[in-house]
């Protein structure tokens, strides 16, 4: 990684930890000396944001199969040519040794790891291209067989049931914190001071 980028990322991470520790220190002090004020601020800022409209946008079906069947010759030839190019590029147009040396030098990884990842990527691309070749041939020669397979394999899986737990409000944590405000405040203050002390020692050591 570029040293300048690495330095910027490290400074941003340290700044994020410092701001989080200061915020934890303030919240802990409020829990110790003024939990009612914190409850008032929490009631103002605590707003439920529903994701139902996003789920509705994701829970729609977009049928592209009719276009492929309507223009089966054009789409079949395009898929066949694209898959043929992928097969050629990953079999005859790729020099594995040069690719491994270049990628290992670019990302700073051992050549064995890069070689294994490259082999897995090439194998996945070749298998996908071979599957695309068969699909394009069926689309050009026997589209009825492809339609029967597509109708049997095409099943709509709704996200509404899986995302339903995200639409439930859970207020037990706030009540638990306010119930044990003193204990939680002490833990927050001690944890924030400990984190700030570690960050101060680290900054002083590497300055």
pLDDT 10s digits, 82-138:
999 999 988 888 888 888 888 888 877 788 888 888 899 999 999 999 999 988 888
Kindly report the pTM of this predicted structure. Answer: 0.49
pLDDT on residue 108? 78
All structural domains of the chain with their residue ranges? 1-61+185-207, 63-155
d(CA 42, CA 20): 17
pLDDT digits (tens, 9 = 90+) for 101-110: 888 888 777 8
């Amino acid at each position: 990684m570029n040293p300048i980028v690495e330095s910027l990322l490290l400074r941003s991470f340290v700044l994020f930890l410092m701001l989080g520790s200061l915020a934890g220190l303030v919240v802990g002090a409020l829990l110790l000396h003024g939990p009612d004020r914190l409850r008032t601020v929490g009631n103002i800022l605590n707003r439920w944001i529903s994701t139902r409209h996003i789920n509705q946008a994701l829970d729609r079906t977009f049928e592209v199969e009719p276009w492929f069947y309507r223009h089966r010759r054009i789409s079949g030839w395009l898929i066949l040519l694209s898959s043929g190019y992928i097969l050629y590029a990953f079999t005859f147009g790729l020099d594995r040794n040069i690719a491994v040396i270049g990628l290992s030098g670019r990302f700073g990884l051992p050549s064995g790891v890069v070689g294994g990842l490259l082999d897995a990527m090439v194998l996945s691309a070749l298998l996908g291209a071979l599957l695309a070749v068969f699909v394009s041939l069926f689309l050009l020669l026997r589209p009825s067989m492809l339609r029967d397979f597509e109708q049997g394999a095409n099943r709509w899986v709704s996200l509404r049931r899986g995302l339903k737990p995200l639409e439930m409000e859970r207020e037990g944590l706030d009540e638990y914190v306010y119930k044990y405000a003193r204990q939680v405040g002490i833990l927050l203050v001690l944890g924030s001071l400990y984190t700030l002390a570690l960050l101060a020692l680290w900054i002083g050591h590497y300055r």
